[in-house]
Structures are given as structure tokens and as C-alpha cells.
Amino acid sequence: MSVPRVCVIGAGALSTRRIYPNLGAAGLRLVGVCDLDQDKAERNATLFGGTPYADVEKLLDEQRPDGVVVCVGPAGHAALAVQVLRAGFPVYTEKPPAPTVDAAVEVARVARETGLLCMTAFKKRYSVAFEHARQWLDQFPVDDRLSISHDYCSAAYGVGDAGRSPFLFDFAIHHLDLTHYLMGDVAETFAYSVGANTFAVSLRFASGAVGTMHLSDGRSFAVPTEEVGLTVRGGNFLTVSNSSRWREVREGEPSGWREPSTFTSGGDSGRDTGHLAELEAFAAHLREGTPVRSPIEESVKSLVLHDAILDSVRSGQPVAVRYPRF
């Protein structure tokens, strides 16, 4: 196929700002828009194209798209992904991939059973800076990769039901996923918290490397404060700031840097933030079967680490991180 036909389920604020405007640039043709609120579906169909629907089954039956994008509340991602996969279509869902580990594992099981892709929109894996960081790490033996540090914060998130942290589940989940992408599986974690939404997390990786995470909702959305540091034996280190700038050192000497002219985490560039790049990856898969960086089997790991961090906070003890087998 030359231009894959896609439908989008969800016409809320996030999808209208980050997904619909990027579909054409990513090489996708929008043919259907679905939302429980018919007015929202009609609005987005008017703005971006496609036929509006209020019923998912009718959308899929009538349009028979090449792929489906799901961007609704986190509680709906897994159930809709299963519905779309069983109907015979590859699916891209927003993060987090499911409300629970068990629900995400079920999505992965259905994806394998149907032989279709379920991709999670973990944008950090697709950003220019973190793809550079991954390629930089790949130059070195695994045993020489010593540590990673994360500083990732936002403005106030509030507290969810039963004291749950929507900040950790909805915002910081990006860096829980990113730590796997860059450093591999986590073997053990030990975490402290102040209230529901500020965490100090220690990590021990299966490779033997270590890591730290500072995650808090006590800062700002308008002024990004994201920073990731990677250290490799022999005076090699790389720092990524704001998902866009980096500074790298090889054997103790400066060897490369990037300094964009604007803040990009606010959404100035779909490739620096990853919003456009992840849709391009989905389009490439639909056209050519190209693998993506965030299949559901990888995305499950973010939820496993999320739960392990909360278990450690509650128990005051280190917690082993155990991933499901597929």
C-alpha cells in the first residue's frame, strides 16, 4: 500500500493536539473518527478528514482500515486494543498501555494470537535525542555501561483513587519505559516517596548497572526540567536535556553536542518530542511490516516497574522486578 488508511478512536484534547495534526505528515490517511461524544467526532472529522462515528464496531466494519490509533483515557486502552486486534487490525494506543499489568499481558497475548501489531505510544523511544543516546550506548560492551540517572518532573498532578499516583502512572511512566529502552531489564528497585507524587528511586539492572530516578510533580509544565545522564566505563558519558539537547564525552574529552535553538519538549518539533516520529514508525509498519521500538511486549515492562516502585514505597524494602514471560 502507498498511503495506509487509518481510523482514530478518541477525539479529546490530547489526540486533537498531538495525533490528528501529525497523521498526514506521517504518511497516513485519516478515514474515520470515533468518539462517544458525537459532537467531538464530527468536529475532528471536519477539521482533519474522515467519517465521524460514535460506535467503534460500526467504524471498523464500514471503514476496514489498515490500522487504528487509540487515544482515550488510560482505562480504555487495553479493552479497545483487544477489540481492534480481534477485528483484524493493527493498533497503536497511547500510553500507558493498560490500567494493570494483567490487562497489558492479555493485550500482548491477543496480539501474538492474531499475529498483529499492538504498539504503545511511548514517545521518548522515538525522540531524536534518546535514539541518539541508544545508538551511543550501543558502541560499548554491556558490561561497561555503569549507570543511568533520571530527573523528570512536572507541575501538580493531584492524587487519584485510593491514593494512587496519576503522576507516576501517566507522566513519569515515560521514563520508566525509557530506562528499559536504554539500559535493559531492571532486576531490583528501592523507592522512597514524599506524598503521592514525589519519588526517589534506586535501580539495579540485570546487566549489573545501577540507576537513580528523581520524579516529582513539584515543578512546572511550562519550564522543562528533564535530564538523563549515562555513564560508561573509561571516561565516557552522555547527558540528554529536555529530550532535545545532548552533550557527549569520549574517554574524558568532549566529542559531540547538540543545542537546538528552542525548547522542544513543549511541542515545537514532532521528531524531538517523538509525537510525529512514533506515527511515522506506525505508518512504516503498516506499509512494509517494519518493526517498531515499542511493541506491547516491551510496554508491559513499564507497568511492572511502576508496580514494583509502589510496592517498595509501601514496604520500605527493596523489591525484585519480575517480568511476565511471553
In sequence order, the 6+-apart residues with CB closer than 8 A to the CB of 19 are: 8, 69, 71, 275, 279
pTM: 0.94
Assigned domain for 278 exists:
no
Domain co-membership, 176 together with 308: yes
Assigned domain for 272 exists:
no
pLDDT tens sequence across 220-258: 998 888 999 999 999 999 999 988 889 999 999 999 999
pLDDT score, position 163: 66
Of the residues 107, 123, 139, which one is the last residue of a structural domain?
123
Distances (CA, A) of 188 to 147, 196, 213, 305: 14, 21, 13, 9
Domain co-membership, 167 together with 151: yes
Question: 129, 240 in Cβ contact below 8 A?
Answer: yes
Domain co-membership, 66 together with 131: no
Is the Cα dihedral 117, 123, 124, 126 positive or negative?
positive
SS3 of residue 29 by DSSP: strand
DSSP characters over 122-190: -GGGGSHHHHHHHHHHTTS-GGGEEEEEEEEE-S-----GGG--HIIIIITHHHHHHHHHHH--EEEEE
Half-sphere exposure of 86 (CA within 13 A, CB side): 12
pLDDT band at 260 (very low <50, low <70, confident <90, very high): confident
Burial of 206 (0-12, 13-18, 19+ CB in 10 A): middle
pLDDT tens sequence across 267-276: 456 888 899 9
pLDDT tens sequence across 146-205: 999 999 999 999 887 766 799 999 999 999 999 999 999 999 999 999 999 999 999 999
pLDDT score, position 160: 77
Domain residue limits at 246: 125-266+300-320
> CA 15 to CA 28: how far, in whole Å?
15
The number of folded domains in the chain is 2
Domain co-membership, 115 together with 38: yes
Domain co-membership, 142 together with 262: yes
Question: 191, 313 in Cβ contact below 8 A?
Answer: yes
- The average confidence (pLDDT) of the chain is 94
Of the residues 62, 90, 123, which one is the last residue of a structural domain?
123
What cell numbers appear for 28 in the block? Answer: 497516513
